[in-house]
Amino acid sequence: MKKLILSGLLLFSFLTVTAQNDPFKEDVNKLIKITVGTSDMAMLRKTFSQKMDAKEKENFYKEYDAAVFSFLAEIGKYYMEHYTHDEIKQLLDFYNTPTGKKFLKDKRYVVENEFPSEFKLSMEIYQMKKK
């Protein structure tokens, strides 16, 4: 639980530092908060550090948190380069609808289990090319 709170604080600090009172950045940060699985990141952090001693955990957490911060910054940069502020607002509006909330809740399962495999398609196309 402590680690989950720390990861939440890390995300909050990222969102606060990067927003800088810019409405576009604030909305991008809201989108990141909605779409990025921070609880998954916290679980990953906990899992990887389970068999570490206190000093190793401390060092790991510093590196892990820096990597997550960088990752979130890259996502924010991508959103700001590829979407307008209006498009970000539209995405936020969508994710606040019942359908958007359902999509977010199910997205991992859908992507991992329901979507056709791109690898399978790539192999089929590769086989066609060889003929």
| Residue 75 to residue 28: CA distance in whole angstroms | 9
- Residue 43 is predicted with a pLDDT of 83
- Residue 78 is predicted with a pLDDT of 96
| Residue 73 to residue 58: CA distance in whole angstroms | 22
Q: Give the rounded percent of residues in the chain with a pLDDT score beyond 70.
A: 73
Q: What is the pLDDT of residues 48-66, one digit of tens each?
A: 888 889 999 999 999 999 9
- Residue 25 is predicted with a pLDDT of 95
pLDDT greater than 60 at residue 17: no
